[in-house]
Amino acid sequence: MDFLNKVTVVPSLPEKIKGLKDLSKNMWWTWNYDSQELFEEIDSDLWKKVNRNPVIFLKQVSQKKLEAKSNNKKFFEKYEKVMKKFNQYLNEKNTWFNATHKDYPQGEIAYFCAEYGIHESLPIYSGGLGILAGDHVKSASDLGLPFVAVGFLYREGYFIQQIDKNGQQQSHYEKFDFSNFPVEPAKDSNGDELYVNIKILGRSVYVKVWKLNVGRVSLYLLDTDIKQNDPEDRKLTHRLYGGDHEMRIKQEMLLGIAGVRVLREMGINPSVWHMNEGHAAFLGLERVKEYVQQENLTFKEALEATRAGSVFTTHTPVPAGNDTFDFNLIEKYFSDYWPTLEATRDEFFDLGREQRPDGSQAFSMTILALKMAGRANGVSELHGKVSRGLWKHVWDGLEAVEVPISHVTNGVHSETWIAKELQDLFAEELNKNWVSELDDPDMWAKIDKIPDEKLWNTHVELKGKLVDFIHERVKAQRARHGETVEQLQEIKTIGDKNILTIGFARRFATYKRATLIFRDLERLEKILNNPEKPVQIVFAGKAHPADKPGQELIKRIYEISRMPQFKDKIIILENYDMNMARHLVSGVDIWLNNPRRPHEASGTSGEKAGMNGAMNFSVLDGWWVEGYNGEEKNKNGWAIGDNRDYEDTDLQDRIDSVSIYNTLENEIIPTYYSEDKSKWVKIMKNSISSVAEFFNTSRMVKEYTQKLYMPAAEQGNKFNKDGFRVTKDFAHWRDLLERNWQSIKIKVLTEHNTDEQLEVGKELNIEAEVYLPGIGPDSIDPEIVLARIQENEVTNLKTFKMKLIKEAQKDTYIFKGSFEIDERGYYGYNVRISASHPYMPHKNYLMGLVKHPAF
User: How large is the average pLDDT for residues 328-351?
Assistant: 96
What three-state secondary structure class fits 408? coil
Mean pLDDT of 726-739: 96
Rounded Cα–Cα distance for residues 51 and 221 (Å) = 22
How many other CB atoms are found less than 10 A from the CB of residue 570? 22
- Per-residue pLDDT band at 754 (split at 50, 70, 90): low
Residues 378 and 253: their CA atoms lie apart, in Å, by 24
Q: Taking residues 838-850, report their average pLDDT.
A: 91
How far, in Å, CA of 229 to CA of 204, rounded? 8
Does residue 7 have a pLDDT over 80?
no
Q: Is the CB of residue 686 less than 8 Å from the CB of residue 635?
A: yes
**What's the pLDDT score for residue 487?**
79
Q: How confident is the model at residue 48 (pLDDT cuts 50, 70, 90)?
A: very high
CA distance 314 to 409: 12
SS3 content of the chain, % helix, strand, coil (to 5): 45, 20, 35
What is the structure's pLDDT at 791?
A: 81
Q: Once rounded to an integer, what is the mean pLDDT over residues 408-414?
A: 98
How much is the pLDDT for 10?
Answer: 83
Share of the chain above pLDDT 70, in %: 99
Q: Using CA atoms in the order 752, 755, 758, 762, what is the torsion angle rounded to 10 degrees?
A: 0
So what's the pLDDT on residue 827? 87
pLDDT band at 2 (very low <50, low <70, confident <90, very high): confident
* 548 confidence band (pLDDT: 50, 70, 90): very high
> Which pLDDT does position 645 carry in this prediction?
86
d(CA 592, CA 540): 12
Q: What angle do CA 442, 131, 188 make, to 5 degrees?
A: 110
Which of the pair, 437 or 854, is modelled with greater confidence? 437
pLDDT at 855: 61
- Would you tell me how many other CB atoms lie within 10 Å of the CB of residue 7? 6
Give the tens place of pLDDT for each residue, 597-610: 999 999 999 999 99
Which residues, 6 or more positions from 23, have their beta carbon under 8 angstroms from its beta carbon?
Answer: 29, 35, 38, 54, 82, 83, 86
Inter-residue contact 284 to 257 (CB < 8 Å)? no
Annotate 306-364 with three-state secondary structure: HHHCEEEECCCCCHHHCCEEEHHHHHHHHCCCHHHHCCCHHHHHHCCEEECCCCCEEEE
With a CB cutoff of 8 Å and minimum separation 6, the contacts of 469 are 580, 583, 587
Q: What is the pLDDT of residues 554-568, one digit of tens each?
A: 999 999 999 999 999
- Name 161's bridge partners: 171
Burial class (CB in 10 A: 0-12, 13-18, 19+), 22: middle
> HSE on the CB side for 560, CA within 13 Å?
26
DSSP 218-286: EEEEEE--STTS-HHHHGGGTBTT-S-HHHHHHHHHIIIIIHHHHHHHTT---SEEEEESGGGTHHHHH
- pLDDT exceeds cutoff 70 at 755: no
Instruction: Please compute the mean of the pLDDT values over residues 652-659 and round it to a whole number.
Output: 96
Q: Which of 505, 514, 690, 416 is nearest to 128 (CA)?
A: 505
d(CA 626, CA 352): 33
Q: How confident is the model at residue 854 (pLDDT cuts 50, 70, 90)?
A: confident
- Nearest 5°: CA angle at 631, between 401 and 664? 105
Q: What distance in Å separates the CA atoms of residue 273 and residue 110, rounded to the nearest whole number?
A: 5
Instruction: With beta carbons less than 8 A apart as the criterion, state whether 504 and 535 touch.
Output: no
Q: Looking at residue 795, what is its pLDDT?
A: 84
Q: What is the per-residue pLDDT for 627?
A: 97
Instruction: Report, as an integer, the average pLDDT of 656-669.
Output: 97
Q: Which residues pair with 572 in a beta bridge?
A: 539
Cα 757 to Cα 58, 760, 762, 817: the distances in Å are: 79, 10, 10, 19
Residue 736: which pLDDT band, with cuts at 50, 70 and 90?
very high
For residues 730 and 839, is the Cβ–Cβ distance under 8 A?
A: yes
**597 neighbors 310 (Cβ within 8 angstroms):** no
Question: In whole angstroms, how far apart are CA 496 and each of 459, 499, 523, 612?
Answer: 13, 6, 22, 19
**Alpha-carbon distance values, 159 to 249, 579, 800 (Å):** 20, 16, 55
The neighbour count for residue 654, using CB atoms within 10 Å, is 15
Q: Are 17 and 69 in contact (CB under 8 A)?
A: yes
Side-chain-facing half-sphere of 603: CA atoms under 13 Å? 36
Where is pLDDT greater, at 367 or 829?
367
pLDDT at 796: 86
Instruction: Supply the pLDDT for residue 318.
Output: 80
Q: What average pLDDT does this structure show over 749-755?
A: 75
Dist. CA 71–CA 68, nearest whole Å: 5
Residue 482's pLDDT is 86
Q: What is the mean pLDDT of the chain?
A: 94
- Tally the residues of the chain: 855
Give the C-alpha separation, 46 to 221, whole Å. 28
Average the pLDDT over 459-486 and give the result. 92
Cis peptide before 782 (omega within 30 of 0): no
DSSP state of 603: -
Q: Of 221, 218, 222, 220, which is closest to residue 145 (Cα–Cα)?
A: 218
Q: Which SS3 state, helix, strand or coil, does residue 609 take? A: helix
Is pLDDT of 320 > 80? no
pLDDT digits (tens, 9 = 90+) for 779-837: 999 999 998 988 888 888 899 999 999 998 999 999 999 999 888 888 888 999 999 99
Antiparallel, parallel or unpaired: β 570-573 and 324-326: unpaired
- With a cut of 80, say whether residue 319 has pLDDT above it: no
Q: How far apart are CA 354 and CA 363, in angstroms?
A: 6
pLDDT beyond 80 at 191: yes
DSSP state of 160: E
pLDDT tens-digit series, residues 620-640: 999 999 999 999 889 999 999
**Considering the entire predicted model, what is its pTM?**
0.96
User: What domains can you pick out in the chain, each with its CATH number?
Assistant: 15-91 (no CATH), 108-162+171-410+702-720 (3.40.50.2000), 441-688 (3.40.50.2000), 740-851 (2.60.40)
852 contact partners, CB below 8 Å, separation of at least 6: 397, 746, 830, 831, 832
| Chain centre distance of CA 783 | 37
The span from the CA of 662 to the CA of 519, in Å, is: 13
